[in-house]
Amino acid sequence: MHQKCFDEFKFMLALFAEAKNGKLKTLLDDSYYSDEESVDGELCYFYDDEGITIAIGGDGPNRYEGYFDLIVDMGGNDVYSLASSEDSYSSSPQCIIDLGGNDLFESDNDFAIASAFFGSSFIFDSSGDDVYKGAGTSVGSAVCGLGVIIDEGGNDIYRGVNHSLGAATFGVGLIRDNSGNDTYIANSNSQGFGMTGGIGVITDITGNDSYIVDARSLDIGRYEDHYVSMCQGYGEGVRPYYAGGIGAIIEAGGNDIYNADIFGQGGAYWFAMGCIADKSGNDKYNSYQYGQGAGIHLAVGILKDYEGWDFYSSNGVSQGCGHDYGFGLLHDLKGNDNYSAYSLSQGAGNANGIGIFLDEDGRDGYLNKEPGNTRGYGNSRREYGSIGLFADASGEDFYSLPGFDSSFALSSMWGLFIDDAHYPESVTGTSSPGYKILVDSSASYTNDEYLIMAKTIEPRFSLWKDFGFRKLVEDSSATSEFILTYLDTDDHRVALVLRDLAFRIGTSMGIVFNQKLDLYLKSASAVSTMNPGQVSFICYLFGETGSVVGKEQLLALTFDDNKRIRSSAVNALGKIRIDTTDLEFIESASSRLREMALKENSSRIFRKDIAYAIKRYPVPENIPTLMNLLGDDFFGVRFLAADALASFGNEYYTNLSQKYSELIPIDSPNDIAFLQSLSGADRVAMDEFINATDLEQRSNGYLLALSDLLSRKGKEFADSQFTDKAFELIKYIENRTSIRIFNHDK
């Protein structure tokens, strides 16, 4: 199908070139006629036979109605009132070639106006102020095929509803506009949009263009007054079943306006990729959430603006934000730009995502109202980190508070701040009282129906959610048995309900779970009672609640043949709230964790879980094991081991019998992690470290991390002698790195 569509595209593009050169007109009779019902106006040629309809129009105004396989129009202000093919799987391509005039292409049908379903469809327009007005999957879109519009000139309007304007699923949808001030209007899943197996692209070469979302799809899952866009360089997958596609807008010139709401503007959701690349012009980007270079749930979102004085406005989870293993990038190369956002923005990594914000040049202004999770923010999730980077490379920049220009700061373990600031502000709001839909509490419902209610995320049905959850809690014993069938669900909303139930009816669930785990552990065939997914989820719930009722079963599961079960059991052991007087279990768990740590294991996540769990069992015998994990090649293991070592205090520091230079060799993977392990060091240990440390060959990354440690310890000790020594080292680091360390004054 791909090859067939591409061959048809090449053929029709060659025909367009021949028509523009006038070669086609020389082959036609100069006489015109217009007695065909489907065409009003002058015709040079008409063919309708064997299921093929071809029309060649003159250079005057024409009106074409219905479905045509091929139209070539020599000029004039034409109207194309188009229908979809009666045969959805027609093997022949469809093409319209128009050589001039202000034309209207319109249809109320889906899969019309250069849009294909298991085939190819094209429109080539050489000039004129044209209007393309379609329905769903229209205006340069495709499902299992190729849909292309190439418009070479004029101030054009492109309008569709959903899955339109350069949108594709299992195919390619493309709009290329060479010049003119153009307007692109759609409702959702449009304007350079790629669904599963699809690539959707808008390429606009010159002109001041506007990208507008005609909001119709209320985002009832989050708000009562915002709308789902999925537009403007956006990729989307079908969570949790299918990965998404690639959506892109490539803007080569002009002062452009992008307006979206929820999900848009160089973003992506669920194993997809979305991108906006704007080469020049003073551009304006306005969205509300999940946009402007945001990768959401294992997706990649990129917004790159090369030149111009630009304005970016959003609420949150945007402007270079990676959420839940996603990657988000906002990269502005030149211009005096202004950025406004609220939270999780401007270089923010959340739930193991990576968010990067880069502004290379210009006098820029930054406004961000959330003090704790913006501009180089990364949090710790799933027992290791997210990464956030904010970097403004040059220029005099402006913030709501003075003193942040040309500064460096590490305000969290996972965030890097260059030219950064935080601004606290509290915002509250309420929904209208009549917005929530009432539940009939007098009716009879099943447990399955209660679960459906409890898992809803729509604010309108929040009363249903509370009602269903409350009913499940009321009969805790029956509910504990009932949910066993949902332990391996792939519905994340159900999983969240089970987690919340575990906090409320943990005792009842613990009794049932322990019985099931005992049967599983005693079974000759492990699959005869529960599958690995169910066992693993029980471990997860024990860990989330911190309940110790299943501690013996969890420890026994660390010997299971299934790696997933072993890892889940170890992770849970690191979360349960062990009584410090339970010395027998602490010793048993510590011994088992050390044994697993010594074995060669290729799974990074499993090693990470071991490093995380061992902190819960603070026996001195664990210190050598943790020091060994400090040199692991996975950062998640190194920093968890460092945190665990820091919790030992002097018990750890008195074990440092080697010289510090031997513990942290040059360019080793554990040098910065070793600094993190010193976060619990007392004054004596820090003095010994400072006296022994050699900074000459250390990397800038190590030096900047050291400056952060020294600054924190100086405030902790509040001792002038130590502060003087730390300040001297920080000044040395500033001179070495040519970076002013933020908030380093004595």
For residue 596 the two structure tokens come to 């697993």
Per-residue pLDDT, 669: 62
- Same domain, residue pair 281 and 408: yes
pLDDT tens string 169-196 = 999 999 999 999 999 999 999 999 999 9
Report the C-alpha gap between 301 and 493 in whole angstroms. 24
Q: Judge contact between 32 and 44, C-beta under 8 A.
A: yes
Q: Answer yes or no: is 67 within a domain.
A: yes
Expressed in angstroms, the distance from the first to the final Cα of the chain is 69
Per-residue pLDDT, 110: 92
User: Which of these three, 408, 429, 450, is where a domain ends?
Assistant: 429
Per-residue pLDDT, 427: 34
Q: Answer yes or no: is 669 within a domain.
A: no
User: Which of these three, 404, 429, 454, is where a domain ends?
Assistant: 429
Q: Judge contact between 157 and 182, C-beta under 8 A.
A: yes
Report the C-alpha gap between 666 and 672 in whole angstroms. 11
pLDDT tens string 52-105 = 999 999 889 999 999 999 999 999 999 999 988 765 555 689 999 999 999 999
If we measure between CA atoms, which residue out of 666, 587, 580, 660 comes closest to residue 627? 660
For residue 389 the two structure tokens come to 């980077």
pLDDT tens string 560-615 = 988 899 999 999 999 999 998 999 999 999 999 999 998 867 788 899 999 999 99
Report the C-alpha gap between 479 and 477 in whole angstroms. 5
Per-residue pLDDT, 692: 75
- Is the pLDDT assigned to residue 668 strictly greater than 70? no
Kindly state the DSSP code that residue 242 receives in the 8-state scheme: B
Given the DSSP bridges, would you call strands 79-82 and 311-313 parallel, antiparallel or unpaired? unpaired
DSSP-derived secondary structure for 312-361 = EE-SEEESSEEESS-EEEEEE-SS--EEEE-EEESSEEESS-EEEEEE-S
- Same domain, residue pair 258 and 371: yes
To the nearest whole number, what is the mean pLDDT of the chain?
Answer: 88
Using alpha carbons only, give the angle 81, 84, 88 rounded to the nearest 5 degrees.
Answer: 170
Q: Answer yes or no: is 503 within a domain.
A: no
- Same domain, residue pair 146 and 228: no
Per-residue pLDDT, 531: 87
CA dihedral 218, 208, 166, 260 (to 10 degrees): -20
Structure confidence at residue 421 as a pLDDT band (50, 70, 90): very low
Alpha-helical segments (H) within 532-682: 532-545, 551-557, 563-573, 583-598, 604-613, 622-629, 635-647, 650-653, 660-663, 671-677
For residue 468 the two structure tokens come to 């269903």
Q: Answer yes or no: is 378 within a domain.
A: yes
Mean local confidence (pLDDT), 621-633: 88
- Is the pLDDT assigned to residue 422 strictly greater than 80? no
If we measure between CA atoms, which residue out of 165, 202, 206 comes closest to residue 186? 165
Q: Answer yes or no: is 714 within a domain.
A: no
For residue 703 the two structure tokens come to 């030096």
Number of domains in the chain: 2
Report the C-alpha gap between 227 and 234 in whole angstroms. 15
Peptide bond between residue 240 and the one before it cis (omega within 30 degrees of 0): yes
- Is the pLDDT assigned to residue 32 strictly greater than 70? no
- Same domain, residue pair 79 and 176: yes
Per-residue pLDDT, 89: 55
Q: Answer yes or no: is 18 within a domain.
A: yes
pLDDT tens string 152-173 = 999 999 999 999 999 999 999 9
Question: Which residues on neighbouring strands pair with residue 357, listed in sequence order?
Answer: 330, 390
Q: Answer yes or no: is 667 within a domain.
A: no
User: Which of these three, 429, 458, 477, is where a domain ends?
Assistant: 429
- Same domain, residue pair 324 and 374: yes
Report the C-alpha gap between 362 and 360 in whole angstroms. 7
- Is the pLDDT assigned to residue 735 strictly greater than 80? yes
Write the secondary structure of 191-235 as one string of H (helix), E (strand) and C (coil).
Answer: CCEECCCEEEEEEECCCCCEEEECCCCECCCCCCCCEEEEECCEE
- Same domain, residue pair 164 and 235: no
- Same domain, residue pair 48 and 156: yes
The CA-atom distances, in angstroms, between 8 and each of 148, 304, 580, 719 are 11, 33, 74, 78
What are the φ/ψ torsions at residue 543 (nearest 5 degrees)? -65, -40
- Is the pLDDT assigned to residue 549 strictly greater than 50? yes
- Same domain, residue pair 61 and 169: yes
**CA neighbours closer than 13 Å in the CB half-sphere of residue 52:** 9
Structure confidence at residue 428 as a pLDDT band (50, 70, 90): very low
- Same domain, residue pair 156 and 227: no
Structure confidence at residue 424 as a pLDDT band (50, 70, 90): very low
Nearby residues of 651 by Cβ (< 8 Å), 6 or more positions away: 620, 623
- Same domain, residue pair 225 and 359: yes
- Same domain, residue pair 328 and 256: yes
Question: Which residues on neighbouring strands pair with residue 277, listed in sequence order?
Answer: 250, 304
Report the C-alpha gap between 249 and 277 in whole angstroms. 6
Nearby residues of 149 by Cβ (< 8 Å), 6 or more positions away: 113, 114, 122, 123, 125, 132, 139, 140, 158, 174, 175, 176
pLDDT tens string 194-233 = 999 999 999 999 999 999 998 888 777 777 788 999 999 9
Q: Answer yes or no: is 573 within a domain.
A: no
Q: Which residues span the domain enclosing 58? A: 1-180
- Same domain, residue pair 102 and 224: no
Per-residue pLDDT, 425: 31
Distance of CA 607 to the CA centre of its chain: 26
The phi-psi region of residue 731 (left if phi > 0; otherwise alpha if psi is between -120 and 50; otherwise beta) is: alpha
Kindly state the DSSP code that residue 590 receives in the 8-state scheme: H
Given the DSSP bridges, would you call strands 63-66 and 39-40 parallel, antiparallel or unpaired? antiparallel
